[in-house]
Structure 1
Amino acid sequence: MTRLVELHTRIDTRVATIRSDAPDWLCGKGCAKCCRSLAQIPQLTAKEWDLLQEGLTTLTPEHLAEIHERVKALAGQSARPFVCPLLDQATNACPVYAQRPVACRTYGFYVQRELGLYCGDIEAQVADGTLAEVVWGNHDVIDQSLAGLGEVRPLTEWFALGNSGSAG
């Protein structure tokens, strides 16, 4: 997990810098716009899945059952946008925020324009000059760091594998 923790630290540092330079940054608790309009089912490395499972163990059996039902529905969905099955629909909060995948940590703060991975609302603020001085994180570097953290599978497949899918 050390490499994943180091990656999280680098991401958190970049995010903190962006937030301090732009205190009105749109991404924050309760927004969930990206969680409700995913372009694809999140892809997680084996190490990310291991960490996410730690967070899932803290949830009530009822909450886990709800998440599993939403994961099943998501696995059968073919059209976008996708809604994150972990999102608490009532509060717009992530119940496993501390263990969330890298994609969730970077969205809104890191970009890959050619893949359409950026927040349109923030992009609009950049275009109108409100956030003209923002220095985005480079998502290509993040992808390179993720490459060594085990096989990559969609979130729905990791759930289908259950604990047997753990990279240990």
Structure 2
Amino acid sequence: MHNDKPLHQLHAEIDGRVDAIRAERADWLCGKGCDSCCRRLADIPRLTAAEWDLLQDGLKQMTAARLEDIDRKIAALAGTHTRPVVCPLLDEASGACPVYAQRPVACRTYGFYVQRELGLYCSDIESQVAEGMLSDVVWGNHDAIDQQLAGLGDGRPLTEWWRGETGGIRRSPAA
């Protein structure tokens, strides 16, 4: 187990920026019911060890059947180079993230942060930016987030963590 205090501090900083944007714009596109970013990932999600430890807390709450479904999706992902990627954790029927509270930093920041003036958001938000509709938004600085995340250690693809040294996730799934 890793020291999770720095990760929780980083989450609090991200949550503060996200909450500030949402407070200014009640109609913000990113929210419950929108899963387009989860269905069009540029690559397999990367997580630090601290993020993986936290993610496992959410995985432990899932049924064995749900974990088997995720296992199949991750196995398929590991063997393909097709992009975009659908997040293997996404419940595609409901469009919900079953580990939302434990989701990685990349998922927490997407739609609310920019990196070197490059928006890290979907084409819907990009369209609003292009039309000048979001000129008053104070975006989060993803370069600073990346720097803090690097301080938590190297990231590895979810597929590697899943298959890791233990041959799978360290869990006692719910029945």
TM-score normalised per structure 2 = 0.89
Q: Which residue number corresponds to residue 73 of structure 2? A: 70
Q: 1:103 and 1:77 mapped to 2: Cα distance?
A: 22
SS of match in other structure, 2:164: helix
**Structure that is richer in helix per residue:** 1
User: Does residue 1:34 correspond to 2:30, yes or no?
Assistant: no
Q: 2:54 and 2:18 mapped to 1: Cα distance?
A: 20
Q: Which residue number corresponds to residue 104 of structure 1? A: 107
- Please give the residue correspondences for 1:50-69 in structure 2 after superposition, counting only pairs within 5 Å: 50-69=53-72
Letter in 2 for 1:39: A
Letter in 1 for 2:105: V
Q: Which residue number corresponds to residue 91 of structure 2? A: 88
Q: 2:107 and 2:71 mapped to 1: Cα distance?
A: 19
Unaligned runs of 5+ in 2: 170-175
Q: 1:62 and 1:113 mapped to 2: Cα distance?
A: 42
**Deviating more after overlay: 114-123 vs 129-138:** 114-123
Q: 2:52 and 2:74 mapped to 1: Cα distance?
A: 14
Deviation string 1:124-153 (CA, Å, 9 cap, x unpaired) is 112212222111111110000011212310
C-alpha RMSD over aligned residues: 1.8
For these two proteins, the number of residue pairs brought into alignment is 166
Percent identity over the alignment is 65
Cα distance change on mapping 1:36 and 1:162 into 2, 3 Å = farther
User: Does residue 1:24 correspond to 2:3, yes or no?
Assistant: no
Q: 1:75 and 1:116 mapped to 2: Cα distance?
A: 28
Q: 2:47 and 2:144 mapped to 1: Cα distance?
A: 16
Q: 2:91 and 2:47 mapped to 1: Cα distance?
A: 20
Q: Which residue number corresponds to residue 173 of structure 2? A: none
User: Does residue 1:44 correspond to 2:39, yes or no?
Assistant: no
Letter in 1 for 2:66: H
1:11 to 10, 14, 24: 14
